[in-house]
Amino acid sequence: MPALVLSDRKIVHVDGAEARHFLQNLITANLDSVLEGEARPAALLTPQGKILFDFLVSKSGDTGYDCDIRADCVDDFIRRLTLYKLRAAVSFDKRDDVPVIAGWQSAAPMGALGDKRFPDEARVWRLYGAGADLDSDMARWNAQRIAHGVAESGADFALSDVFPHDVLMDKNGGVDFRKGCYVGQEVVSRMQHRGTGRRRVVTVTAETALPAPGPDGAGTAILAGEKPIGSLGTIQDTIGLAMVRTDRVADALSQGIALTAGGIPVTLALPAWSGLSFDAGGAAAPEA
C-alpha cells in the first residue's frame, strides 16, 4: 500500500453556520457535488479568472470543510478568506498538527478520502491524520501524478499565472459551470463557451532522463523545431508534466516537426481521462 506524508501540504479547516454558503460563493467547485468520502479539486481565483490558490476540498463534520493546500500558501489563503468574510458566521483554522497523507493503488484505510483529480481506477486517496503505513517517497508520488496528468501549483505552474482550463480543472470537476457566481466566474465561463483555451497540461515522455529545472526553478522549454511551445514542470527520470500551447503542438505534429526539451526528443500526450486530443484548429478538442 504505497503511502507517504506530504510535508508540503497543510489543512485549513473552514467551519461555521455559514461556511457552505461562504465557500460556495467564492470557489470554483460546487460544494453540492462534494460527497462524503471524497476530496475534490477546487480553486480560488483572481477577479481576472486566474488561479490564486489551488486545493482539495472535502466535508468535515456537520458544517465544516477541509481545504488541503500547499503549506507555504496557508497564511495567504487565510488572509484572503478573511477579506471576504465580512460578517459571515464562518471561522478559519490552520491545522498544523494534522498530517496530510497520500496513498494509491490499494484499498483506502479507514477515514480516507478518494482524490477525485485521479481516475477511480488509480485508487488514489488522501488521509488527514494517522492510520496508514508509510512506505513510499516523493519520487513515487510524483510519478503517480505525472502518469495521470495531475498538476499542482509550485511544481507545475505559478499561481496567478494560469486559468483553470490550463490545468484541466474544467475536466476533473474542479470548476462547475452551472452553480452560479464566484470570484472570476465570468472570465472562466466565457473561456468555456467560446472554447478559447490554448494552454493545457500534458504528459511528457522521453528515451533518456528529462532535464531538471534551472537554478531559478523554471522548467526547461519545450521546442517545436526552434520555437518554444511550453515548458516542463514536475519531472521524474524519463517522464514529466508540461504546460504547452496545444495549437502549436498540433501544428508541429501535422508538419512532422520534432519536439524537444533541452535537446532531448520528447513525446507529448493529453491525459486520457480528459477526453481531449490535439486539434490543428487551435484548442485541445474532445476526441472523436
Residue 89 in this model has a pLDDT that exceeds 70? yes
Residue found by looking up cell 513510499 in the block: 136
pLDDT band at 283 (very low <50, low <70, confident <90, very high): low
Mean pLDDT of 250-265: 96
CATH of domain 3-187: 3.30.1360.120
Q: Do domains 3-187 and 198-286 have the same CATH topology?
A: no
Domain borders along the chain are 3-187, 198-286
E strand map for the chain? 3-5, 9-15, 38-45, 51-60, 64-70, 91-95, 100-103, 113-115, 125-128, 199-206, 221-224, 227-236, 239-245, 259-261, 264-269, 276-277, 285-286
Residue found by looking up cell 488572509 in the block: 79
The class (CATH top level) of 198-286 is mainly beta
- For the segment 152-208, what is each residue's pLDDT rounded down to a tens digit? 999 999 999 999 999 999 999 999 999 989 999 999 999 998 887 889 999 999 999
Element (H, E) at 20: helix 19-24
Residue 137 in this model has a pLDDT that exceeds 80? yes
Given a contact cutoff of 8 angstroms between Cβ atoms, the answer to whether 250 and 224 are in contact is no
Residue 99 in this model has a pLDDT that exceeds 50? yes
pLDDT, residue 281, reads 43
Residue 288 in this model has a pLDDT that exceeds 50? no
